[in-house]
Structure 1
């Protein structure tokens, strides 16, 4: 799933290709992709793209300096944006392929992007709205961790009274915008903290260490992705991850074997030596298999 660093890089990539250009056509292909109907997608046609930005994990395209409709895109788990300079100008045929929506600029001819989605669970979401706050997922977003106003004190206030495990708190978009499963694993590894630690029980030192790891991990990932083409971002993300998706490999810090805990629809990875005092966390799925 694209998270804050990849969406930030996508916004920068698209800014240089779309800002100042007019929308020529917007063609939905998958029925499930469009989540709004007023204003219609056709309201974007003829509008000038004046900004491409990020709200949490959402890409937001602004037209006519905000006087026109906004296009908001959430790529979800299996979605991606593919930019091309030579897309077919004829409407694509609906089918069983991954293509969900195509947007073409009025000029240069053929320039634009496809939104695609892999897998059987179709969660890619597109909204055409008058204001980005009309998108429910944007309206409920917590503070952005890269915002200068997101201080250590602001972060500590978010954790006050939180009785949940810190892994879940970091992933909650209503608490902190933009961090998902992968970067929460990376942040916790950098902070040398167990994903099962209760947020409300963290000491002042723990909070400071976690805050620094959050900012540094995200800032480093954004910097690595800066200037990359859309098609290179997935590879960069995977290369840059130190523990997430690397179960069975040696920890790059201590050399211990990276472990995994699996859930019904996701998993987390961690280093026992760095994060849990050498103790493996219980994996209920594996426990059931061993019975």
Structure 2
């Protein structure tokens, strides 16, 4: 799943490619992708892109009459959530043949930009695609980003300067849940998912099962430093990369997530995994749990 660093890189990439351009067509291909009807998706056609913003894991493309991340002032916003298996594919030349609605491929929506005045060559644009059978990719055409329920409920961005170590510690004191779940909760912190929560907890040398409300002040400050450091490093690695290279860059930068069975880069202990119904976490016992492996709850149920 694309998380805050990758979505921030996509935001920068799209800002370079889209701002000042005009959308001539917005074509929904998969019936499930569009989650709104007023204003209609056609409201973005013929409009100039004025900015691209990010809200947690949401991309916000603003059109003439509005500003990205600000008051709409009549201009529509195209807000995109890529979910678990969605992605954005940039097209330097959009195929001349229009996509077939309801096709079986991964294409969910196509946006076509106006070509140059010469009319030579195909216009540019981008596709939104989604692999797999669980279709969660979501596109919203709204008057303001806060009209999207998922945006309206977002907590603070983890790299927001106002989220100081003291503010972060105060936030955690209200959470009587395991810290892994707190970091992933978008209403608490906007933009962190399964992968980077694993990376942050490894950097903080903290068990994913530790209760957030029981963290000491020193532990909370250390976790804040691990969070901001991990995310800033990931953002810098991704900055300036084309959309097609971001997935590979994310994988190469991960130290424990997705690396079960491999040696920990810090201590060489074996990275372990705990599986759940629809996800899994990875951690290092030596670095994070005092050498004690955590119970794999899915395996425990199978052995009953």
Separation of aligned partners in 1, 2:185 and 2:300 = 27
Query: Tell me, what secondary structure is at the counterpart of 1:218?
Result: helix
Query: Tell me, what secondary structure is at the counterpart of 1:2?
Result: coil
5 Å matches for 1:1-291?
1-66=1-66, 67-94=74-101, 95-108=103-116, 109-291=122-304
What TM-score do you get using the length of structure 2 for normalisation?
0.94
Alpha-carbon distance, 1:110 to partner: 2.4
Alpha-carbon distance, 1:65 to partner: 4.8
Separation of aligned partners in 1, 2:115 and 2:196 = 37
Contact 1:259–1:271, Cα closer than 8 Å, also in 2: yes
Alpha-carbon distance, 1:290 to partner: 4.2
Alpha-carbon distance, 1:68 to partner: 1.3
Query: Tell me, what secondary structure is at the counterpart of 1:269?
Result: strand
Contact 1:191–1:209, Cα closer than 8 Å, also in 2: yes
Query: Tell me, what secondary structure is at the counterpart of 1:42?
Result: helix
Separation of aligned partners in 1, 2:266 and 2:139 = 40
Structure 1: 5+ residue runs without aligned partners?
Answer: none
Structure 2: 5+ residue runs without aligned partners?
Answer: 67-73, 117-121
Contact 1:52–1:59, Cα closer than 8 Å, also in 2: yes
Separation of aligned partners in 1, 2:15 and 2:151 = 20
Separation of aligned partners in 2, 1:158 and 1:223 = 27
Query: Tell me, what secondary structure is at the counterpart of 2:52?
Result: strand
Separation of aligned partners in 2, 1:266 and 1:218 = 21
Relative to structure 2, which stretch is displaced further, 144-153 or 120-129? 144-153
Separation of aligned partners in 2, 1:47 and 1:145 = 33
Contact 1:89–1:104, Cα closer than 8 Å, also in 2: no
Task: State the aligned residue count.
Answer: 291
Query: Tell me, what secondary structure is at the counterpart of 1:238?
Result: helix
Alpha-carbon distance, 1:216 to partner: 0.3
